[in-house]
Structure 1
Amino acid sequence: MKNILKQNKQNAIAFYKMAYIGNPKKAVELYVGAEYIQHNPLVGDGPQPFIDYFNRMAIEYPNKSIEFVRSVAEDDLVALHTHQSWPDNEEYVTMDFFRFDRNGKIVEHWDAMQQIPKISANNNTMY
């Protein structure tokens, strides 16, 4: 079980990174299962809306970057905590959750995103 969790974490990171840097079609081919249920309200269900969304992001925001701060796996879920940098010095914290099927393929996704504020009421980072 420990090896499966480790592999799922590696696959979730590889999937997200590949899509984010501009190759969502290949990411879907390699890592997505027979279905893909999407909970982000900006992206439709299924592989093609995912591909279309990330292709558009690659064109509109070619200089964005992502850093994977941590990953956690439990049962059939992987959670990724990321730091994203976008044009105009906008930075975001994201938390993405991926559900895997029995074949080790991603079949469902949830996320939450928060812009990193310029001023904080404490001295802690968002990570």
Structure 2
Amino acid sequence: MSNLLKQNKANAVTFYQMAYLGEPAKAVERYVGDEYIQHNPAVANGKQGFIDYFDEMQRDYPDKQIRFLRTIAEGDMVALHTHQTWPGNDQYVTMDFFRFDENGKIVEHWDSIQQVPEGSANGNSMF
């Protein structure tokens, strides 16, 4: 794996963890490029929309936790597979995709979030 892919993987994890745990403005300053295109319909487009969303999340749910399970990089994309635990033990599995520019900065984001069900027809976990 190239050094660029390794660096993008590390930066995606640090970016997401920093924002998730309450420092979204710092995360944006360090890891986001000139533009930030957001595909999550609950989050406004652009850097400020990202910061506002994660500031509100930290204010409303300060005790949430995240665990990074898988990180995959290919070309200018990094994918993260995470397990999130929220107050009341609500658990979610997430898939986040980040596109990086030629300077190694995040410029676009997609995600999919699903609450972990109580049962499974196939007996496999979501992790």
Q: Note whether the superposition's TM-score is higher than 0.5.
A: yes
Question: Number of matched residues?
Answer: 127
Q: CA RMSD in A?
A: 0.8
Aligned residue for 1:55? 55
Q: In structure 2, how many angstroms separate the alpha carbons of the residues matched to 1:119 and 1:88?
A: 18
User: How big is the shift at 1:75?
Assistant: 0.2
Question: Gapped runs of 5+ residues in structure 1?
Answer: none
Q: Which secondary structure state, in structure 2, belongs to the residue aligned with residue 36 of structure 1?
A: strand
With structure 2 as the length reference, what TM-score do the two structures score? 0.98
User: How big is the shift at 1:88?
Assistant: 1.2
User: How big is the shift at 1:50?
Assistant: 0.3
Aligned residue for 2:42? 42
Q: Superposition pairs for residues 88-107 of structure 1, below 5 Å?
A: 88-107=88-107
Q: In structure 2, how many angstroms separate the alpha carbons of the residues matched to 1:125 and 1:2?
A: 31
Amino acid at match of 2:36: Y
- The reply to whether residue 126 of structure 1 matches residue 126 of structure 2 is yes
Question: Gapped runs of 5+ residues in structure 2?
Answer: none
TM superposition outliers: structure 1 runs of 4+ over 2 Å: none
Aligned residue for 1:7? 7
| Cα deviation digits, residues 12-43 of structure 1 (max 9, x gap) | 00000000000000000000000000000000
Aligned residue for 1:31? 31
Work out the percentage of aligned pairs sharing the same amino acid: 67
With structure 1 as the length reference, what TM-score do the two structures score? 0.98
